[in-house]
């Protein structure tokens, strides 16, 4: 029996919260724990808490479940805080996207949501310093890279950033015909920009098998591919990045970083050429497919909540998920040492980057805490052109946020590769700041 309190901030995301709930229920070492669900949306909070309560009963798990709309209550006596919140949800982001497109920025520029997220993350970390100073903050909501760097620089809160992009290594294995369960790998970098530095199957170097697949099977795979619009992990763009930078990109690295790979995202036809027949994740088709999927998840959770005759375990089978959050908590609480993919301050783990930049590397987690594994340097060209670009973009964002300087904000937009003039950048900035839900940002940037 344990006396651990795990608080989930932004728990209204039912699919993710229930995945965490399932993992807690299945962890013997976390029996007796308290799980606190916190969200400002009381309706969605009630749904998650109701489903979790039913699920716990079906599994006969010994947990204490509570819910609250107050962050202070969630943080009180917490041992672990999982922050998965998205300020304003996707509706605000879509409004901003439309404004960005009007000014010549396809798919928008990721403006207010970015700064609102930074503001939320920093306020949670600062509140934890006062309310639960010994607790761990596990950051799940994006931007993990920027937010974790900000929080670890500005507070003393113990922060771990988590993402599941590294699971892309198993997808690589599956596509080239390997058994993913027999694969081990190392994929360091920064969040949403990680690269396969070691890839083994049954203990043997499997990189030659990637090369063989590219030479003999890639063209047929691309010609006959008929998967999800979001799938671009083994696309022409991924292989092209590998040829240029000597390491294979993992997970969403290839699709979510137009910052450094803008030449794959120039227009719809270009995206269809490099990613898939739909244009990949950041195309209009891909993004609409993603939003539709989220909407379907919400509808399914609402239907399940309203139908108490349907077991929750029929939707969430009692089998551990692939998420790392709960296993890491178990490792920290019960000293169950294991290796995980973590986002933590560099401190020498990844050669060529400042110690206070949060990097994504393997980490040994146990009762002693989190020790990042030293992975050495990546190829120089990759470090300079790709990861260096990601770090520079992150630093520009944090400088704008912390300085509250409107000129620094404008500089961020000027740095965007789609900016064609100073006037274009000024106009899109002013229109975005004029949106009702960005009123606080208009005051923030002097």
Q: Give CA–CA dist 109/418, Å, rounded.
A: 9
Last residue of a domain, one of 129, 163, 197: 163
Please provide the average confidence, as pLDDT, over all residues in the chain: 95
Choose the catalytic residue: 90, 164, 171, 297.
164
Choose the catalytic residue: 39, 146, 231, 252.
252
Q: Give CA–CA dist 278/230, Å, rounded.
A: 9
Task: Give the model's pLDDT for residue 312.
Answer: 97
**Structural domains in the chain (count):** 2
Last residue of a domain, one of 282, 299, 328: 282
The residue range of the domain holding 60 is 5-91+108-163
118 and 180 in a single domain? The answer is: no
pLDDT digits (tens, 9 = 90+) for 32-62: 999 999 999 999 999 999 999 999 999 999 9
pLDDT digits (tens, 9 = 90+) for 332-385: 999 999 999 999 999 999 999 999 999 999 999 999 999 999 999 999 999 999
Please give the angle made by the CA atoms of 17, 23 and 29, to the nearest 5 degrees: 130
Q: Is the pTM of this model over 0.85?
A: yes
Strand 204-205 relative to strand 198-201, pairing: antiparallel
Is position 297 annotated as part of the catalytic site? Answer: no
Is position 130 annotated as part of the catalytic site? Answer: no
28 and 82 in a single domain? The answer is: yes
> In this model, does residue 2 exceed pLDDT 80?
no
321 within some domain:
no
187 and 250 in a single domain? The answer is: yes
228 within some domain:
yes
200 and 172 in a single domain? The answer is: yes
14 and 127 in a single domain? The answer is: yes
Domain with residue 76: its CATH number is 3.40.50.720
21 and 159 in a single domain? The answer is: yes
Task: Give the model's pLDDT for residue 1.
Answer: 63
């Amino acid at each position: 029996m344990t006396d651990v309190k795990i608080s989930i901030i932004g728990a209204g995301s039912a699919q993710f919260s229930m995945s965490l709930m399932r993992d807690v229920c299945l962890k013997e070492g976390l029996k007796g724990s308290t799980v606190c669900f916190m969200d400002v949306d009381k309706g969605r909070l009630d749904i998650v808490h109701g489903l979790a309560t039913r699920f716990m009963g079906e599994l006969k798990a010994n947990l204490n479940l509570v819910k609250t709309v107050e962050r202070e209550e969630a943080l009180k006596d917490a041992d672990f805080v999982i922050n998965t919140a998205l300020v304003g949800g996707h509706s605000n982001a879509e409004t901003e996207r439309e404004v960005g497109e009007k000014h010549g920025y396809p798919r928008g520029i990721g403006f207010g949501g970015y700064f609102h997220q930074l503001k939320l993350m920093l306020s949670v970390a600062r509140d934890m310093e006062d309310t639960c100073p010994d607790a761990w903050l596990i950051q799940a909501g994006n931007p993990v890279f920027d937010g974790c760097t900000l929080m670890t620089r500005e507070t003393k809160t113990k922060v771990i950033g988590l993402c599941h992009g590294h699971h892309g290594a198993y997808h690589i294995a599956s596509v080239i015909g390997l058994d993913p369960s027999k694969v081990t790998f190392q994929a360091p970098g920064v969040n949403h920009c990680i690269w396969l530095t070691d890839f083994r199957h049954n203990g043997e170097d499997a990189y030659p098998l990637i090369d063989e697949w590219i030479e003999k099977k890639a063209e047929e795979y691309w010609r006959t591919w008929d998967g999800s619009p979001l799938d671009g992990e083994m696309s022409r763009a991924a292989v092209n990045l590998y040829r240029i930078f000597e390491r294979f990109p993992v997970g969403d690295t290839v699709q979510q970083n137009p910052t450094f790979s803008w030449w794959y995202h120039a227009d719809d036809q270009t995206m269809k050429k490099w990613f898939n027949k739909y244009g990949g994740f950041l195309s209009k088709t891909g993004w609409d497919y993603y939003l539709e999927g989220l909407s379907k998840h919400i509808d399914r959770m609402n239907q399940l909540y309203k139908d108490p005759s349907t077991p929750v375990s029929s939707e969430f089978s009692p089998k551990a998920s692939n998420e790392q959050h709960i296993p890491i908590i178990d490792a920290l609480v019960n000293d169950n040492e294991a290796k995980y993919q973590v986002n933590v301050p560099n401190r020498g783990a990844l050669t060529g980057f400042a110690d206070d930049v949060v990097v994504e590397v393997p980490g040994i987690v146990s009762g002693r805490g989190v020790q990042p594994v030293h992975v050495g340097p990546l190829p120089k060209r990759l470090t300079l052109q790709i990861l260096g670009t990601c770090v520079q973009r992150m630093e520009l964002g944090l400088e704008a946020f912390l300085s509250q300087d409107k000129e620094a904000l404008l500089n961020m937009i000027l740095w965007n590769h789609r900016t064609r003039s100073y006037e274009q950048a000024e106009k899109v900035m002013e229109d975005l700041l004029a949106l009702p839900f960005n009123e606080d940002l208009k005051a923030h940037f002097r």
